[in-house]
Amino acid sequence: MQTTVTLPVTLSCMEVTFRREMLGWIGATHFLLEPIEGDVPGMFAELRCLDEDVLLRSGVAVPSPRFLMLTPWYVWPSYQVALDDDFADALDIRVEEDATLLTIVTQRAPLERSTVNLFSPIVVNRHNGLADQFVPAASEIEAGWRVRTPLLPPRPAGEAGEGGIAC
């Protein structure tokens, strides 16, 4: 049986513990998820690492990372992920409503260059705070979602605006 996570879940401030180090960040397992207030409650949050001794995969020490997270359904209403049983069991996810899916936003200037990782979302059990980054066995093409999905949709042809991106 696979657990398919599709519904948006309201974000609340909570401690999050990754069952293994966050991909690419050695020693990063304890985080605080804090929703960012704005026009659309629950759309964005900050995921702030609480661990002090964090290294990049290359072994270089870095300050504790912070990530801008997006609840993907606000931008991609059809977004869904099918979790395999082992992954869902490791986070004690039994039904869809147990899980919150978050995607990492890579902020760039100008904003039109910012991207979202829809291929490998962060899955959080909203009841116990256990989390992990889900990396599907399929390729980006097979999964239907990309690691570097533009945050802002392209502007229609002929519409004025800088960079060809709609805001």
pTM attached to this predicted model: 0.83
pLDDT in single tens digits along all 167 residues of the chain: 355 555 566 678 999 999 999 989 999 999 999 999 887 878 899 999 999 999 999 999 999 999 999 999 888 888 888 888 999 999 999 988 898 899 999 998 888 889 999 999 999 999 999 999 999 877 777 777 888 988 886 666 555 544 433 33
All domains of the chain, ordered by start, with CATH?
Answer: 3-164 (2.30.290.10)
Residue-wise pLDDT tens digits, 35-47: 998 878 788 999 9
- CB-based contact 47:16 (threshold 8 Å): yes
Strand ranges (DSSP E) for 19-166?
Answer: 25-26, 30-35, 44-49, 54-56, 61-62, 66-70, 81-83, 99-106, 115-116, 122-125, 130-133, 149-150
Residue-wise pLDDT tens digits, 107-123: 988 888 899 999 999 99
